Amino acid sequence: MIRRTIRRAFGPSLEGRVGPAFQPVEPQASRVHQLHKIFKDLHETFSKLPRAGEQADLEVTPPRARPEGLEFTVSGPGFSCRFVDNMNGMIWIWRERAGEGVHVDVLTLHPDEEGALRLIEKPVRPGRAGRSVFRFTSVPEVAGQAIESGREGGARG
């Protein structure tokens, strides 16, 4: 009885089609895959920044495996950013500036008005449950914000 069920599910169907009788769930898998590509694009963007003037002291570590996911860090005078792809549909960003503590944001994908998935940035605030404000963003914009926050922190520190 079990063999007949398996054969019907995974073997040729009555209409002559070959393959499983179900379709794998793709949206979540593609979302995680897209975010992993964004994580790699972020690292590549930071790695290719010109090292002149204020950005001469910018240090970018290669991605490495950590218990919470893949991680790379970007640091410069007066600031550091830690990017973690938890391989579960989110990229966490820890930003730290001299004397100001840590600011945490999350990058994830959200459907826009047409239904296409777009990159969003959402601040994480301790003690605030429920919905929080998010904004649409891009890889160059996230990289630019990190560098700009380093300049502001370097000017203060």
Checking if the pLDDT of 134 tops 90, the result is no
Query: In terms of pLDDT, which residue wins out, 10 or 47?
Result: 47
Beta strands in 39-100 (DSSP E): 59-60, 64-66, 69-76, 79-85, 91-97
pLDDT given for residue 11 in this prediction: 53
Residue 155 has what pLDDT? 46
Residue with tokens 């966490």, as numbered in its chain: 92
Predicted local confidence at residue 52, as pLDDT: 56
User: Cβ(74)–Cβ(80) under 8 Å?
Assistant: yes
pLDDT in tens, 54-63: 556 788 999 9
Beta-carbon neighbour count of residue 85 at 10 Å? 26
SS3 79: strand
Q: Where are the domains of the chain?
A: 31-156
Find, among 83, 79, 48, the residue nearest to 63 by Cα: 83
Question: Is 6's pLDDT higher than 80?
Answer: no
DSSP class of 108: E
Least Cα distance to 92 among 114, 70, 112, 74 occurs for 70
- Which tops the pLDDT comparison, 7 or 124? 124
Q: 99 or 43: which carries more pLDDT confidence?
A: 43
Where is 36: in which H helix or E strand? helix 27-47
Higher pLDDT, 54 or 45: 45
Residue 74 and residue 46 in contact, taking contact as beta carbons nearer than 8 Å: yes
Q: What is the pLDDT of residues 55-108, one digit of tens each?
A: 567 889 999 999 999 999 998 877 889 999 998 889 999 988 777 778 888 998
The Cα–Cα gap between 118 and 109 comes to 5
Q: Which residues contact 33 (CB under 8 A, 6 or more apart)?
A: none
